[in-house]
A and B are shown apart, each in its own frame.
Chain A
């Protein structure tokens, strides 16, 4: 019996990937939502039976208002008036725009800061590290850097009348799925403990600053359920968990590690997305991501473009296969041979996909024969899929720096420096021979850069061996430029993790 998913017109994507992956929830927003779930479960982080995981997100209306709905602080600070006058003026202006959701009385700030200038400086500091502080997103979708437990809050829609709701625009449950995935990995609890230890220390200076501004935490009324996620186990969950543990073991400040955790989560979630699609579509080959290392002239460009577009087409194939799979169910056959094929097919469709419902909207489908129900649902599912879930591959791969249109007319895989750095920091403990690194990147993420990893492509005459070995040389040069590769001699180079235990010479 499939788990019922509420608030959806039908459940198709949800059975393939869970409820739900969402394109606009970019990897950093996913990790922020994830941290919110973790924050409610610090007593048993990434542990325990998943049907019992609940969480109560924070809202921190005061903190986010001070940072992102407070445009006057700079100009007031610069005025040549007394401190007293600055506070008075600021209080007036701020309360005009306040949401009245606990931010009516900000008088406590005068006890927190010795002067208005100090207050303004602290705001400036927090803004400088915030996510998308300068973007034109609504202010209630901007986020302070996750310095600690007090800095976390959920995405909200706050309208002019003070109405507040979680519209699932940027926190669309992808972070909840991430939480479930990692909690289902074998080393989940180990990772959970590590994350809590490093990221949820309330005594960290920056967390205390945030807390001083926010005051008492503001929480959502009731606890929420999360997910669901269709797979109890998946190799990708373990891969990601091990990757995160590796990143956290590096000799770097945890706030820096976050950047790599985010990129790594993006990459692994993207692979999860592609892998599930392949499995459902009945394609047993592993996912392959052929990457061009950008250079002036390279013959790999067309190939990486093809690889990109082949992967882009996977998820919609999976949608069709998922809906059609109902016809392979033995119950479908018996329904067809029963006295009431139409009614029994309808029941089976409802059980499998929660569709068609008894709502008025679905009335027209209730009298369709089974075959037509299936094609109707495919049509509806494909069109819904296209709007968001179908865009995941393109938006996420761009967001983590895996794909690009640089020097080309169409998208292809062409990893940027930041992603390459994350790969090195994740894969390499201290140092590793360059060719081993390439083979490990293929093994873990399906990334094909060199001729060894792309042997199949060479064999099938998709590309000549030399083009791929040039690609490898370009990567080597790029990594030398990033301080991540050391050449021992013409024939031998090592990838070095500057934050590994044996990094610096």
Chain B
């Protein structure tokens, strides 16, 4: 801390304790506050009011027990989902004491008002084998054998639970009856077994949790103290306050959080799970991140120096949200930053957006947009630092050609792109913000999900893209067809690069029970392609579209597939294709002899349908008749 700042300030910043408390939620190597066990002590030391999150799941759990429903409870979730928090919440809601909870026992009993005994296991992994065997046997009696003497409340992560059941089964020489059904329930492939009520904390909607966490942090009343802080008086910009302000939004409308919510939604549908603990770390990091601060997180005492060094722009919330303030290894240890990194925001860009950032300041044709979209933000947008780096870069000063200088400008450009992604207005015609991400069709995906949820038609342009992409993957040919789907083979292995033999065609729109339908997969909340090769149940094959599969098909449809795309999507598509071919094979075998065909025709000839491409890139199937002796 330099002398100047302490001279001016004289006393500690008014929100110092609160910010330190919030800082301990951040992605530091040992963020203890993120463990329920630690939090009460930390609150007492900081003398601030806690960050409170509503927990709709807890209300449901308590209501379930109070309803007197027989059987037992399993609170499942991954690390950081709040299993212990929910367990403790239930304990106190049912009349358990804080001291009872805090004692060292790993299995706790509580007598309920209706006389039943609730047995709490707050963390299955703390139990020795024989203890856990006992607990699991009680669980089995209670859920499958109608034993009402005790109700079990067990908190565990999915893997532990299944493993313990398997090991117990092995010791007993049987397949444990709870294991398979529970596994299916975890994977959403079935209901929870018997009288076991499953509360899976990893299933909660992420966007809602994100909004709630952001609110709880940014609207916390401790921030009120900032108003008396000299660090943001007299035209000073306190990066902590600035970031918090941007997180708060204006008049209840917050484009930043909405867009972040889109990312979180897409990440979730791609299979990422973001525990509440991670969301809290994210919120703390967004506000307090600064690469030069200790452990990458600012405390109030750092602000004066940052201001003196004119290093405020490095605290940009738009970089912090991706963990840019942290050493990349540390950031990548957390699912939340890993998930957000998968969008490539900062690295991806459109030539339009890059043109604006690089030439906008000097090109009068871009001046209006530049002023509106970049220069309007003097804190993280067109800062003096950015403008002078830009000038050096454009004027080609000798030093700017050096790699280190170019690197500096590229880093700045990345951070500007990140800012643009979050600040571009919706529907900005020349600068669509999804183009700044690896998910160029992310917006289309969310739009499709929305339409399906509201039972509206899927946009025609999306459907066309999906069909075109599908056809190109199916055939290996660059065809343009959007009205029908070729189910094609090479004759031999499905994996062959090019498949020119048309096995079956199906309309791109479900018609009289045949063809493709885009629908919502209720279990996963994803869109799904459902292709029926014949009318009637059991004749269709379903392919769920995660955002990444959707992106893959759309990119193939547009004719450009970046090499960075994982092989995974192609493998998935080929498996889907193989299943369609298998379905077609089975339908053919089912068909009674001679149906549909001119009598005698089938016996004496076969028809091969080759897919050929006409001038405009449309594929069509040309039949080749081969006469065979009967």
Contacts and interface: CB of A to CB of B under 8 A. Distances in A.
Interface stretch (A79-87, A117-125, A356-364): A117-125
A215 B183 CA distance: 55
Nearest to A198: B585
Nearest to A259: B493
A215 B162 CA distance: 59
A494 B183 CA distance: 10
Contacts of A147: 491-492
B127 to A, nearest CB: 16
The CB with the most chain B CB atoms within 10 A, among A111, A118, A254, A504, is that of: A504
B78 A490 contact: yes
Interface in B526-580: 542-544, 566-568, 571-572, 575, 578-579
Nearest to B544: A505
A128 B496 contact: yes
B161 to A, nearest CB: 9
A253 B491 contact: no
Contacts of B494: 252-253, 255-256
B566 to A, nearest CB: 6
A327 B308 CA distance: 93
A122 B523 contact: no
A433 interface: yes
A145 interface: yes
A123 to B, nearest CB: 12
A502 B189 contact: yes
Nearest to A129: B492
Interface in A419-474: 431, 433, 435-436
Contacts of A254: 585
B394 interface: no
A251 interface: yes
A486 B490 CA distance: 30
Nearest to B572: A483
Contact of B627 (A111, A126, A483, A498): A111
A494 B186 CA distance: 11
The CB with the most chain A CB atoms within 10 A, among B492, B524, B610, is that of: B492
Interface in B175-205: 183, 186-189, 202
Interface string B67-78: 000000000011
Nearest to A436: B166
B582 A488 contact: no
A489 B581 CA distance: 33
Given A491-B157, A492-B162, A504 B543 contact: yes
A498 B543 CA distance: 11
A256 B628 contact: no
Given A128-B491, A128-B496, A209-B626, A489 B273 contact: yes
Interface residues of B, number: 56
B158 interface: yes
A43 to B, nearest CB: 22
A114 interface: yes
A253 B159 contact: no
B478 interface: no
Contacts of A239: none
A488 B159 contact: yes
The CB with the most chain B CB atoms within 10 A, among A130, A209, A215, is that of: A209
A295 B52 CA distance: 44
Given A488-B158, A489-B159, A113 B493 contact: no
A504 B544 contact: yes
Interface string A134-178: 000000000001010000000000000000000000000000000
A67 to B, nearest CB: 12
Contacts of B461: none
A487 B491 contact: no
Contacts, number: 152
Contact of B608 (A128, A205, A480, A494): A205
B625 interface: yes
B263 interface: no
Interface string A195-213: 0000000000110110110
A125 B626 contact: no
A505 to B, nearest CB: 6
Contacts of A215: 629
A504 B491 contact: no
A209 B605 CA distance: 9
A482 interface: yes
Given A252-B578, A433-B162, A489 B202 contact: yes
A365 interface: no
Nearest to B497: A128
A499 interface: yes
Nearest to A433: B162
Interface in A251-269: 251-256, 258-259
B303 interface: no
A426 to B, nearest CB: 15
Contacts of A491: 78-79, 157-160
A8 interface: no
B568 A492 contact: no
Contacts of A258: 493
A129 B491 contact: yes
A481 interface: yes
B271 interface: yes
B624 interface: yes
Given A128-B491, A488-B187, A253 B567 contact: no
B608 A431 contact: no
A499 B579 contact: yes
The CB with the most chain B CB atoms within 10 A, among A112, A435, A505, is that of: A505
Given A126-B491, A483-B571, A505-B544, A492 B496 contact: no
B273 A252 contact: no
A66 to B, nearest CB: 13
A489 B278 CA distance: 14
A147 B606 CA distance: 15
A481 B565 CA distance: 11
Contacts of A502: 189
B521 A505 contact: yes
10 contacts: A126-B491, A205-B606, A212-B606, A253-B585, A256-B581, A481-B571, A489-B79, A490-B79, A491-B157, A494-B187
Interface of B: 77-79, 157-160, 162-163, 166, 183, 186-189, 202, 271, 273, 335, 489-496, 498, 500-501, 521, 523-524, 542-544, 566-568, 571-572, 575, 578-579, 581-582, 585, 606, 608, 610, 624-629
The 5 tightest CB contacts between A and B, nearest first, are A129-B492, A492-B159, A491-B159, A489-B78, A498-B575
Given A125-B608, A125-B610, 11 more contacts: A118-B625, A121-B610, A128-B491, A251-B582, A253-B582, A256-B493, A256-B495, A256-B581, A482-B568, A488-B159, A499-B579
